[in-house]
Amino acid sequence: MEQQTAKPTEREKGVEKKSTLQRTPLLAGNWKMYKTVSESEALAKELKQLVAGVSGREILICPPSINLTKVSEIIMGTNICLGAQNLHWANEGAFTGELSGPMIKAAGCKYVIIGHSERRQYFGETDKIVNDKMNAALKAGLFPIVCVGETLEEREANNHFKVVERQIRDGVSNLVKEDYLKLVIAYEPVWAIGTGKTASPAQAQEMHAFIRKILSQIYNEPLAQKTRILYGGSVKPDNIDSLMSQPDIDGGLVGGASLKAADFSRIVAYQAA
């Protein structure tokens, strides 16, 4: 009988395709504080047409909260899902101007963005607040997208890994398995947001692999392999293909380019090498 020699698996060779890793790519549009209700309606309608034939990836839009209900009606039953950009950590209460997880869920959202660098920078959100908000989101039945990322100063001082490790350890530890599986991480280097300066695919991949390593230390390797890690920061139609070709980049969190249906639909239709 012919002797079979054990060949290294694709995984061991480091060339396993993302599609075999059970991580459905997620392309998320963060509309930030842009678009009135009628403008949101028009953008959602246009996008709905352009992405109608797309499958094998999850498409998400996060309009301003005041427009969630309207947009929810427009995308109901399509391949686009809805998310909010922020939530409060309490279920309800005397918190003027805030929105709770149950309210966001009831408006038709599946996801909520938490700890975006703009929230950290302008609204004083700490890792503790991020952690509280993540727990509130999970309690309300929402999938949290927790944002991490270093500033230019921190990268130049070579502290980027330390900063991101702290944001991950303090922000997303102590989850039970069922909740952990709902977590999405978005790596968004602050110096790349809205600046037109994207991290190179290699720079992004390096940090994504590092984040996955930290997650495997906090949880375990098989769970960390299931977690989607999105890249954000000047994602555009002309750089999405090379970003998505990296083994640990599982999607994008897109700001400016998500405000134009043609650009965002091209991003959604990325082709990874």
Binding site for ligand PGA (CB under 6 A): 30, 188, 193-194, 232-235, 253-257
- Catalytically annotated residues: 116, 188
Question: What is the separation, in whole angstroms, between the first and last Cα of the chain?
Answer: 39
Measure the CA–CA gap between 138 and 179, rounded to whole angstroms.
Answer: 7
Beta carbon nearer to ligand PGA, 215 or 235: 235
- Give the phi and the psi of residue 90 in degrees, each rounded to 5: -95, 155
Residue 143 beta carbon to ligand PGA: minimum distance, rounded to whole angstroms: 16
Beta carbon nearer to ligand PGA, 30 or 86: 30
Beta carbon nearer to ligand PGA, 141 or 194: 194
135: left (phi over 0), alpha (psi -120 to 50) or beta: alpha
Residue 188 beta carbon to ligand PGA: minimum distance, rounded to whole angstroms: 6
E strand segments, the chain = 26-30, 58-62, 80-84, 111-114, 143-148, 184-187, 228-232, 251-254
Residue 12 beta carbon to ligand PGA: minimum distance, rounded to whole angstroms: 35
Measure the CA–CA gap between 250 and 271, rounded to whole angstroms.
Answer: 13
Which residue is nearest to ligand PGA, using beta carbons?
255
Measure the CA–CA gap between 192 and 197, rounded to whole angstroms.
Answer: 5
Residue 193 beta carbon to ligand PGA: minimum distance, rounded to whole angstroms: 4
CA 231 to chain centre: 7
Beta carbon nearer to ligand PGA, 219 or 246: 246
Beta carbon nearer to ligand PGA, 19 or 195: 195
Which of 91, 100, 89 has its CA nearest to residue 65? 100
Residue 253 beta carbon to ligand PGA: minimum distance, rounded to whole angstroms: 4
Beta bridge partners of 229: 185
| Contact (Cβ atoms closer than 8 angstroms) between residue 248 and residue 230 | no
| Rg (the chain; Cα; Å) | 19
Residue 194 beta carbon to ligand PGA: minimum distance, rounded to whole angstroms: 4
Q: Which residue matches tokens 């700490």?
A: 126
Measure the CA–CA gap between 191 and 143, rounded to whole angstroms.
Answer: 26
Beta carbon nearer to ligand PGA, 140 or 257: 257
